[in-house]
Amino acid sequence: MSDQEFAVIETGGKQYKVSKGDVITVERIPGKHKEGSKIAFDKVLLFDSGKTTTVGDPYIKGAKVAGILEEEGRAKKVSIIRFKSKSRYFKKRGHRQPYAKVKIESLK
């Protein structure tokens, strides 16, 4: 096991294992943010310092993970097709999921 500390955070209904310096792609973050703005994740489920591990119930009180927004964008298009043979039924839709790239600065 390495001595590098890490945390497990929850955002956008998903969980991410992060450590200092990581760049993660998460769901769109609510609110207006510009590139370079600071973002704090307060839903920390687990924190490991390399020696001790703290597990939340469900979250750890007072724990925060700070990051900087690097980029907001939309992912590649996903095509959704519905087709039934011999009945002239064909529907095609497209969807581009918004995302945010965040660089993790500190774990507290």
Q: Does the model's pTM come out above 0.85?
A: no
What is the tens place of the pLDDT at every residue in 57-66?
A: 999 999 999 9
> What is the rounded average pLDDT for all residues in the chain?
93
- Residue 104: its pLDDT value, please? 96
Asked if the model's pLDDT at residue 81 lies above 50, the reply is yes
Per-residue three-class SS string for 15-46? EEEECCCCEEEEECCCCCCCCCCEEEECCEEE
Distance, in Å, from the CA atom of 81 to the CA atom of 42, rounded to the nearest integer, reads 39
What is the tens place of the pLDDT at every residue in 87-102?
A: 999 999 999 999 999 9
